[in-house]
A and B are shown apart, each in its own frame.
Chain A
Amino acid sequence: NAGVTQTPKFRILKIGQSMTLQCTQDMNHNYMYWYRQDPGMGLKLIYYSVGAGITDKGEVPNGYNVSRSTTEDFPLRLELAAPSQTSVYFCASRPGQTNEKLFFGSGTQLSVL
């Protein structure tokens, strides 16, 4: 299993541009999450999904959108990039309700200039 795969690893955007951060997992996990991490800070939850077709907001959803059309994929969309969205983005997944063991991807470092 490749686990949780995120692409791209690095990206620079100009203010107002849009992009999609890709996340896919091959472990057949129902639950998937997007977090962002600003320098020196902990992780903040952006959006999460409990299964295909179901998504919900986390702590900091403004400026982002997600979709979950398949179990494997959970893309994060930035529509109008702003400097405040400069951060490292992590995607994570877990099997189900039995415990909180999350599996994380390696992250996407995004700079908005």
Chain B
Amino acid sequence: DAKTTQPPSMDCAEGRAANLPCNHSTISGNEYVYWYRQIHSQGPQYIIHGLKNNETNEMASLIITEDRKSSTLILPHATLRDTAVYYCIVRVSPLNTGTASKLTFGTGTRLQVML
């Protein structure tokens, strides 16, 4: 699976958009980009995932560059409750490998939303 690089920490003002970058320059054509977040002491929570196209759901938007070497998770109106560690993960779909998921979580980006 492709390796990802994320900044260790970021700050964002409450009410503003939080843009969390992720570099995955070695991504291959059949690898998806997944985002999870972990609020202090809780289990990680799925946010969104995508392959090529930009994706949006009730939590966030995922923007993937045309060359797929990087992506950005956007929280459109960050609140204090969005303070968490955000993990960007790249993973081949299990449909392609026939194996079970072995999602690898790195150290992520610690997002601090401030008043």
Q: Which residues of A contact B (CB under 8 A)?
A: 4, 31, 33, 35, 40-45, 48-50, 56, 58-59, 88, 90, 92, 94, 97-107
Pick out which of these stretches binds chain A: B13-21, B60-68, B72-80, B101-109.
B101-109
Cβ distance A91 to chain B, nearest Cβ, rounded Å = 8
Identify which of B41, B91, B101 contacts A48 (C-beta below 8 A): B101
Q: From A99, which residue of chain B is reached at the shortest CB distance?
A: B49
> For chains A and B in complex, what number of residue pairs have CB atoms within 8 angstroms?
67
A103 to B32, CA, bound (A): 18
Number of B residues, CB within 8 Å of A = 25
Asked if B91 contacts A100 (CB within 8 A), the reply is: yes
In the complex, what residues of B have CB within 8 A of residue A103's CB? 46
Please indicate which of the listed interface residues A90, A99, A106 has the most CB atoms of chain B within 10 Å of its own CB.
A99
Asked if B101 contacts A94 (CB within 8 A), the reply is: yes
